[in-house]
């Protein structure tokens, strides 16, 4: 009972602080041309807080030098790179900043990782991919290891709720499996995967010599919705994206240090971090650091209401990240419940939703991302009507989702509305009201 009251107090504090949260994002309610809008496409790229924008501008002016121990400009760049690695490691509860590498995008990081696996993945091995994933965590394995190396690719299916079948996964993973590539949460429908169970199945044939399968987690879609701990998840590799974490376009790859010696990534001599090619983009790193600073400030504001929680995180900044992201997760469950209640009122013969459909399905099993179909209209038509009737921006089409393209096969018929913690119940009502008008037309 005490834990429940404490969490309720923390959630109340977040809600009271919410107008400050919204005001931190300068283009949330109006786009770059000044048009009023309701932005419901955060799964394609979150909004960026003012502090991140300002950090990028400052870096262009002050951090143009290459990293160096000599001279103030070089030292600023050196410190910028290291501090960004450090903050990302703390955000993921990773053991060391040395396990973090920077890439052009998440797709780029996974391509780099697929190339690096060539010493330990051979033609007689197999790789498991899922129909729940964004294609960024499917295509590299299918193209580089499957088509070019002749490795067998095994597909783990998904149901209409976005859930994978763990029994099927057990049947797919054997002594010759080398990679299981899974999303943390389905980018089309928001379903959160049972990561610990997937990790146990993945690792059941692993030995001290490195034989057996490695778990590669694409956490891009989940990273801005809830806390991530790479050690608790028991994954081997994990990737997130800066532009889906309130920052600029940046791919971030975490590699468990003990695996580095077994991999052979493409690199340019003498770059000390072999996963990174070329010079760092200082402005992008500064923007990422600004976005993470925003989350730390949010955690600091909420920390007094979480005095008895998350004490297992001894590092102060790691704990602040976990407070912020846990509060976001709890708040977004309220948003998801409101969306589902609104959708439940729509006529079943005109409106179809994919993913977990009711509050009873378990709010802790989904992120606030909703894939739906208005029967008789294409996704593009719904997208256009949402804008015309409610100034609402939603996505349409396959959204790079294997679930939409391979399982649902609804390429032109579905739409996606995706929320973030800067949204509120007014945002929910705007969506449900506008969809109601579309269904009544």
pLDDT of 122-166, one tens digit each? 999 999 999 999 999 999 999 999 999 999 999 999 999 999 999
Whether omega before 270 lies within 30 degrees of 0, making that bond cis, reads: yes
Tell me the pLDDT tens digit for each residue of 290-323: 999 999 999 999 999 988 788 899 999 999 999 9
Q: How far apart are CA 139 and CA 108, in angstroms?
A: 11
- Check: CB of residue 368 under 8 Å from CB of residue 336: yes
> What is the pLDDT at residue 307?
82
Q: How far apart are CA 179 and CA 169, in angstroms?
A: 12
- Check: CB of residue 382 under 8 Å from CB of residue 374: yes
- Check: CB of residue 290 under 8 Å from CB of residue 56: yes
How far from each other are the two terminal CA atoms of the chain, in whole angstroms? 48
User: DSSP 3-state assignment of 364?
Assistant: helix
> What is the pLDDT at residue 363?
64
> What is the pLDDT at residue 273?
60
Tell me whether residue 268 is exposed, middle or buried, using C-beta atoms within 10 angstroms of its C-beta: 0 to 12, 13 to 18, 19 or more: exposed
Tell me whether residue 185 is exposed, middle or buried, using C-beta atoms within 10 angstroms of its C-beta: 0 to 12, 13 to 18, 19 or more: buried
Structure token digits, residue 9: 């107090």
> Residue ranges of the chain with pLDDT lower than 50?
1-6
Provide the β-strand partners of residue 214. 179
List the domains of the chain with CATH numbers: 58-290 (3.40.640.10)
Q: What is the mean pLDDT of the chain?
A: 93
> What is the pLDDT at residue 194?
96
- Angle 265-269-273 from CA coordinates, rounded to 5°: 55
Provide the β-strand partners of residue 415. 372, 396
């Amino acid at each position: 009972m005490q834990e429940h009251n404490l969490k309720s107090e923390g959630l109340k504090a977040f809600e009271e602080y919410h107008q400050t949260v919204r005001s931190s994002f300068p283009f949330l309610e109006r786009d770059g041309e000044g048009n009023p809008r309701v932005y419901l496409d955060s799964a394609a790229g979150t909004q960026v807080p003012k502090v991140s924008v300002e950090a990028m501008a400052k870096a262009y002016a002050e951090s143009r030098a290459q990293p160096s121990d000599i001279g103030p400009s070089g030292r600023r760049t050196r410190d910028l790179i290291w501090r960004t690695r450090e903050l990302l490691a703390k955000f993921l509860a990773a053991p060391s900043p040395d396990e973090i590498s920077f890439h052009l995008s998440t797709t780029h990081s996974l391509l780099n990782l697929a190339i690096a696996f060539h010493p330990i993945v051979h033609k007689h091995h197999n790789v498991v991919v899922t129909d729940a994933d964004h294609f960024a965590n499917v295509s590299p394995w299918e193209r580089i290891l499957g088509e070019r190396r002749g490795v067998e690719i095994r597909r783990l299916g998904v149901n209409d709720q976005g859930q994978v079948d763990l029994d099927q996964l057990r049947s797919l993973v054997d002594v010759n499996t080398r990679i299981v590539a899974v999303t943390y949460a389905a980018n089309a429908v928001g379903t959160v995967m049972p990561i610990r169970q997937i990790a146990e199945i993945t690792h059941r044939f692993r030995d001290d010599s490195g034989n057996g399968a490695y778990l590669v987690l694409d956490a891009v879609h989940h990273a801005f919705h809830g806390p991530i701990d790479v050690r608790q998840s028991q994954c081997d590799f994990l990737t997130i994206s800066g532009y889906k974490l309130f920052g600029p376009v940046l791919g971030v790859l975490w590699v468990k240090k003990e695996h580095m010696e077994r991999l052979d990534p493409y690199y340019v001599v003498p770059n000390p971090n072999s996963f990174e090619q070329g010079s760092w983009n200082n402005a992008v790193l500064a923007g990422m650091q600004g976005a993470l600073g925003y989350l730390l400030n949010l955690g600091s504001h909420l920390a007094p209401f979480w005095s008895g929680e998350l004490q297992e995180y001894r590092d102060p900044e790691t704990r602040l990240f976990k407070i912020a992201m846990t509060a976001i997760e709890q708040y977004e469950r309220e948003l998801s419940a409101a969306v589902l209640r609104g959708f439940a009122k729509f006529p079943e013969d005109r409106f179809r939703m994919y993913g977990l459909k009711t509050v009873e399905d378990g709010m802790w099993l989904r992120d606030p991302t909703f894939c739906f179909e208005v029967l008789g209209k294409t996704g593009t038509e719904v997208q256009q009507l949402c804008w015309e009737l409610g100034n609402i921006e939603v996505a349409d089409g396959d959204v790079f989702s294997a679930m939409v393209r391979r399982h649902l096969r609804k390429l032109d018929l579905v739409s996606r509305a995706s929320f973030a913690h800067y949204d509120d119940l007014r945002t929910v009502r705007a969506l449900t009201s506008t969809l109601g008008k579309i269904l009544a037309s």
